[in-house]
């Protein structure tokens, strides 16, 4: 079976760099994936595309060494299993607030006898190899998103679910649920909770991923012990780069 490149990155003691795709384009996905990212995540929750477009994006990512992952819209078994069958090598599940929800998510990700994933890997075999079914439970990463006050209250119970690979922190949603606003920089209270998530994950041998609004925050999170950082999404990077060019052109025109 094809090894999960993220696990190789971590064995080398590095923090993985993850790209985040919200634009529904296989060409755009291919361009991003050919950059030296360790993983590329297709965002089906807030991305502006449907599941058929997500398939073409996963196919494009698979032409590169980047690990293809998907953030699903919800903890829905048929949808999670569908993106797994499409070849996702990691699934980020939003709004995991309780142990029961996390257990259901992990069961969906795993084949019997450890879960209830239905057999039908389709493109999973094409990407992962003929022995995909034998190794998928460990190679394909399950990420539970921590983004609500309730999730923080149940953090220890969620982190102790057998078969879970990692916690993925959504700092904007945490800021909203704890402070009522999205702030950058984050408040000291939110930062303390982020640090607690990392500590609890470490205690349970889980990986930690996080979405970062900028490079400065990403550097802090790497230093704090995160295993995977995402710096902005493709739409945000496009706005930032285009805005910088426009500003530079205006300065040139003024000269």
pLDDT, position 120: 95
Q: Are 92 and 145 in contact (CB under 8 A)?
A: yes
Both tokens assigned to 132: 């995909």
Phi-psi map region of 205: left, alpha, beta (phi>0 left; psi -120 to 50 alpha):
left
CB atoms within 10 A of CB 40: 29
Q: For 177-191, how does the pLDDT look when each residue is reduced to its tens digit (9 = 90+)?
A: 999 999 888 999 999
Q: Give the CATH number of the domain where residue 200 resides.
A: 3.20.20.60
- Domain of 65 in residue numbering reads as 5-254
The count of domains in the chain is 1
Q: What is the mean pLDDT of each run of 10 residues along the chain (255 residues)?
A: 97 98 98 98 98 98 98 98 98 98 98 97 96 97 98 98 98 95 92 97 98 97 98 97 94 69
Kindly list the distances between the CA atom of residue 113 and the CA atoms of 11, 79, 82, 239, in Å, as whole numbers in the listed order: 28, 20, 19, 47
Please report the sign of the dihedral spanned by the C-alpha atoms of residue 182, residue 223, residue 96, residue 201. negative
Both tokens assigned to 77: 């078994």
- The residues carrying an active-site annotation are 46
**Percent of the chain residues past pLDDT 70, beyond the cut:** 99
């Amino acid at each position: 079976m094809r090894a999960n490149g993220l696990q190789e990155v971590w064995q080398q003691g590095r923090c993985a760099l993850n790209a985040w795709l919200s634009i529904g384009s296989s060409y755009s996905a291919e361009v991003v994936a050919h950059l030296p990212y360790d993983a590329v995540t297709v965002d089906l929750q807030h991305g502006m595309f449907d599941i058929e477009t997500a398939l073409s994006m996963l196919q494009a990512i698979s032409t590169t060494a980047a690990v293809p992952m998907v953030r699903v819209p919800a903890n829905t078994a048929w949808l999670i299993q569908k993106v797994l069958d499409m070849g996702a090598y990691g699934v980020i599940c939003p709004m995991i607030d309780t142990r029961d929800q996390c257990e259901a998510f992990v069961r969906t990700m795993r084949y019997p006898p450890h879960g209830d994933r239905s057999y039908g890997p389709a493109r999973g075999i094409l990407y992962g190899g003929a022995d995909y079914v034998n190794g998928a439970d460990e190679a394909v990463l399950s990420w539970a998103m921590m983004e609500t006050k309730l999730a923080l209250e149940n953090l220890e119970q969620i982190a102790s679910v057998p078969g879970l690979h990692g916690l993925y922190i959504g700092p904007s949603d945490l800021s909203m649920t704890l402070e009522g606003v999205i702030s950058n920089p984050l408040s000291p209270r939110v930062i303390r909770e982020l640090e607690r998530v990392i500590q609890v994950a470490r205690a349970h041998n889980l990986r930690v991923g996080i979405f970062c609004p900028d490079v400065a925050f990403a550097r802090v999170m790497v230093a704090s012990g995160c295993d995977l950082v995402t710096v902005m999404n493709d739409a945000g990077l496009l706005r930032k780069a285009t805005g910088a060019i426009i500003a530079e052109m205006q300065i040139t025109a003024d000269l």
